[in-house]
Amino acid sequence: MRFLRKVVMITGASGGIGQALAKGFAREGATIALVGRNKERTEEIARRTGAVYHSTLEITKSENCKKIIDDVFNLTGSLDVLVNNAGAMFRGDVVDTPDDEWLKLFDINVHAVFYLSREAIRLMREHKIAGNIVQVASNSALSGRKGHIAYATTKGAVVQMTRCMALDCASDGIRINAVCPGATDTAMPMSKHSAPISRERLLENCRQSIPLQRIADPEEVVRSILFLASEDSSYVTGTTLSVDGGTTA
């Protein structure tokens, strides 16, 4: 029960890792607030985890991010942990990537993370909360990725943003870290491929290319986030934790 009496807000709650995060934090006693794009799935995971708040507001708009953070605080009286898990992926190389996809990925993967983190930090500073922010980046942030220029670039920006925010907030007792998952058993790895690929073929590709010879279960990514969000990592800030079966090694 590491998060008993802690208020935790999770974005991307309707996705595979987001749903696992909600269950993991609820299991450890947290008061949960969820933000997700898919209304039905977000409402369902809110019911399953007993979340006190859920929203489908578009987080690429700064005014919506302020409203979400303010609403959660006004409802619960605190905001101890923010997990910026929402993200999107488009496939394309430098020539094939159109302007609209490039800009959309920056909106979702970078701007929303900045807006929500900024509002959460303002609130934590104002109310003297020694809070915690975990950004869900990607191992694509740590090395080049053929055919994924927009995705890798935006996730690289998240890692650098994490370092800068951590230094800005260290004197406030606010810790900020990033997790960089590799291939995880959710819908997103399927979207990396330009041609349709079966789940069986994807798993076989992972066995051949990942040192641990398997794809990650979402719960394995969640455990790393729970660690960084808890007092178990009380002396850790500004770091990037790879959870990719050894791929970036």
How many residues would you count in the chain?
A: 249
From 53, 115, 151, 235, active-site residue: 151
What secondary structure letter does DSSP report for 176? E
User: What radius of gyration do the chain's Cα atoms show?
Assistant: 17
DSSP per-residue codes, 120-175: HHHHHHHTT---EEEEE--GGGSS--TTBHHHHHHHHHHHHHHHHHHHHHGGGT-E
**Quick one: CA torsion of 58, 64, 67, 72, rounded to 10 degrees?**
30
What residues does 130 pair with on adjacent strands? none
**Quick one: CA torsion of 193, 151, 59, 130, rounded to 10 degrees?**
120
| 115 catalytic per annotation | no
Query: Tokens 């934090």 appear where?
Result: 25
Q: Catalytic residue positions?
A: 151
